[in-house]
Amino acid sequence: GDVLKLLFVGRVEEYKGIILLIGVLKKLKDKKYQLQIVGGGRDFLKVEKLASENDKIIFCGELGTDEVNKKYEEGDVLVMPTLTWENLPTVILEALSYGVPVIASKIGGISEIVDEETGWLIEPGNKGQLEKTLVNIFENKERVQQMREKCLVRAGDFGEERYLDELEKIYK
């Protein structure tokens, strides 16, 4: 469709970069998008209030696995602008396994999964970079479609079996 479907899945807390994301989207109000926020957390009410005049932002609250998977199926891009160290975020692997490319912070183990074939890396907390990345995606929506297959392949690389093999190597 014409509307870019953005997804945020995770704790609705400032350290996850959600407040930063809402601030950046405020500047892009002429763009056609919808952001679905899946999850709950300490900053939920604060974030809801910040987003209250933006009708393109939808709060889904906490969802069960099946419902979350449905969101991935419908989504175009997962946005994960975390400000804090994340080792191997499950949400990124989940998104990729549905062929959904990811905008994520260049921090922790994220850059091992997300690269120019499967998404976009930004410096943590860099509003300008996040905005530029989003604008870039709005202008090249077909790029998102082209990345889908690579995302599926990458998710396979990090599938459970590979993960368990790697763990065994470490602990043998």
> Would you say residue 51 has pLDDT above 90?
yes
Mean pLDDT across 123-141? 96
| Chain mean position to CA 3 | 17
Mean pLDDT across 152-170? 77
pLDDT at 163: 62
pLDDT at 141: 92
pLDDT at 152: 93
> Would you say residue 172 has pLDDT above 70?
no
d(CA 58, CA 34): 7
Buried b (16+ CB within 10 A) or exposed e, 153-171: ebbeebeeeeeeeeeeeee
pTM: 0.91
Between the alpha carbon of residue 128 and those of residues 100, 122, 131, the distances in Å are: 23, 10, 5
Place of tokens 């692997």: 93
Mean pLDDT across 86-91? 82
pLDDT at 162: 66
- Is residue 88 classed as helix, strand or coil in its secondary structure? coil
